[in-house]
Amino acid sequence: MKKILIANRGEIALRIMRSCRKMGIKSVAIYSEADVNAPFVKYADEAVCVGPPPSNESYLLGDKILEICKELNVDGVHPGYGFLSENADFTRKATNAGITFIGPSPESMEVMGDKLSAKSAVKSYGIPMVPGLDKAITDIEKAKNEADIIGYPILIKASAGGGGKGMRVVENREEFEEQMNLAISEAVKSFGNGAVFIERYVGSPRHIEIQVLADSFGNTVSLFERECSIQRRHQKVIEEAPSAVLTPELRKAMGDSACQVAKACNYVGAGTVEFLYENGEFFFLEMNTRLQVEHPVTEMITGLDLVEEQIKIARGEKLSFSQEDLKIDGHSIEVRVYAEDPKNNFLPDIGTLEVYKRPTGEGVRVDDGFEEGMEIPIYYDPMIAKLIVHAPTREEAIRKMTKAIEDYDIVGIETTLDFCKYTINHEAFKSGNFDTHFVKHFFANPEILDEASDETKKIAGIMANYFLTEQDTKADYTPSSEVMAWEVNRV
């Protein structure tokens, strides 16, 4: 493999290109008109403008991207995450065109892309799953009876869902039908698929995911876990590896289950198996058939370059290590630096990076896609950077991250940095005694949505419009329900 096109933008495009350069592989960037001066465009060996700023006129044009691959004699295409990364049709077309897709097969994507088909694929492997139905609801009365057996509260979930959309907590039998209709309506609007199912509501879960690598020779390994429980709007904002809550026995059990999930769909490549954890129990949630935003913390504790491993697997190589070879080295924390205002319900805050100075030092890593003086475009995810630290212990990692946040100088927009500093120094985080409701329980917003300025609402609405209509529905950023409402009413 001599030339790879990166079908993505920003920090992930730049990060993939660095691995390509290290491996002696030339990189091709595609970019929209909004990204013409972006660092990833300048870093690539070749770059081609693929269209105007809106993603459905640029980064989501699969056929045009494949035409560029052919014109430039590209050997492989790396999708990053979001956009086309879990688009089975694009993967199939690339493969049929003789271009190596650096990721799993379209069949694996299709199995794991739907929660019900994923449940069906893994249930024969004895993998723990949240008690509930494994079929879409077609008979309301029957579903109510099943809910009675499961026990309230229960959760209604969209089969094709993600990011909290098409998800409703039902407290009792009387509100079941109303909540189901709301979930179906939201699922249809968000995913074009109204299939929903029910399962037990896990009230105080931790979100723990396992990174897996699988080659085409039947070898599958777990690269241990990532703790992803600090979230806002069902979206991750702080991740760490390893988790502070897992014992060695639980770690092995979850790792083994994750490898079984990968085998259940004949998975090849890098993937992430997500679990809910509560009171010593874990339950299979879903599999993300791509690289994750938070993959750097796994790289820090294993010493592996996951993009390099992806490329090696894609070109037909065996894994060069076994499960027994892998060990956890120290502790790593990642915070996502978003152009958002945590004091105002994490609403996007778009503007110019008037000052942009990165922290440096041993064990400090910044994956970003911006430079000082650049504007944060309204068309895409508002993540500016990922700040990652590595240290011998969790306590040292917290101290190092605190210092790195203090040294990160960003002027011109509001960011999530202060929120991240507050969180990692909160006693609940330090003690490891937290769950996915951290923001609700410990972070009070001094401002309310009704006080947001008309300009803020307008910007948020425009962004929501792009995310809802043009971004991959499984991208790692989803606007809040309030932002969606503003978009609907902004005219």
Domain of 135: which CATH number? 3.30.1490.20
Position 409 in a domain:
yes
Domain containing 88 — which CATH number?
3.40.50.20
Q: Is the link from the previous residue into 359 a cis peptide, with omega within 30 of 0?
A: no
Q: Are residues 391 and 465 in the same domain?
A: no
Position 31 in a domain:
yes
* 41 touches 29 (CB < 8 A): yes
User: Hey, what are 107's tokens?
Assistant: 């069949």
The phi-psi region of residue 200 (left if phi > 0; otherwise alpha if psi is between -120 and 50; otherwise beta) is beta
Position 378 in a domain:
yes
Question: What is the per-residue pLDDT for 133?
Answer: 83
Residue 379 DSSP label: T
Q: Are residues 306 and 404 in the same domain?
A: yes
Question: What is the per-residue pLDDT for 345?
Answer: 86
User: Hey, what are 275's tokens?
Assistant: 């679990």
Q: How far apart are the first and last CA of the chain?
A: 49
Residue 288 DSSP label: E
Position 113 in a domain:
no
Position 135 in a domain:
yes
Question: What is the per-residue pLDDT for 87?
Answer: 96
Low-confidence ranges of the chain (pLDDT < 70): 161-163, 444-491
Q: Are residues 223 and 195 in the same domain?
A: no
Q: Are residues 323 and 456 in the same domain?
A: no
Catalytic positions, written as ranges: 290
* Host domain of residue 92: 3-102
Q: Are residues 192 and 252 in the same domain?
A: no
Nearest alpha carbon to residue 162 among 107, 228, 113: 113
Position 111 in a domain:
no
Position 94 in a domain:
yes
Position 254 in a domain:
yes
- From CA 404, how far away is CA 387, in angstroms rounded? 8
Question: What is the per-residue pLDDT for 187?
Answer: 85
Listed residues 183, 200, 217: the one ending a domain:
200
Give, to the nearest 10 degrees, the angle between helix 88-96 and helix 62-71. Answer: 30
**Total structural domains in the chain?**
4
Across 3-151, the runs of DSSP E, i.e. the strands, are: 3-6, 26-32, 46-51, 76-78, 100-101
The residue with tokens 């590896």 is 241
Q: Are residues 176 and 221 in the same domain?
A: no
Listed residues 200, 232, 256: the one ending a domain:
200
Q: Are residues 239 and 298 in the same domain?
A: yes
Q: Are residues 403 and 254 in the same domain?
A: yes
Q: Are residues 294 and 340 in the same domain?
A: yes
Q: Are residues 455 and 400 in the same domain?
A: no
Domain containing 273 — which CATH number?
3.30.470.20
Q: Are residues 236 and 364 in the same domain?
A: yes
pTM check: above 0.85: yes
Across 316-372, the runs of DSSP E, i.e. the strands, are: 331-338, 340-341, 347-348, 355-357, 364-368
Q: Are residues 266 and 168 in the same domain?
A: no
- From CA 14, how far away is CA 44, in angstroms rounded? 8
Count of Cβ atoms closer than 10 Å to residue 339 Cβ: 23
Q: Which residues are CB-neighbours of 272 under 8 A, at least 6 positions away? A: 209, 210, 211, 212, 287, 288, 290, 292
Across 242-323, the runs of DSSP E, i.e. the strands, are: 269-278, 281-288
- From CA 199, how far away is CA 285, in angstroms rounded? 11
- From CA 167, how far away is CA 236, in angstroms rounded? 17
Range list of H helices, 72-161: 88-96, 106-112, 115-122, 140-150
User: Hey, what are 285's tokens?
Assistant: 């949630």
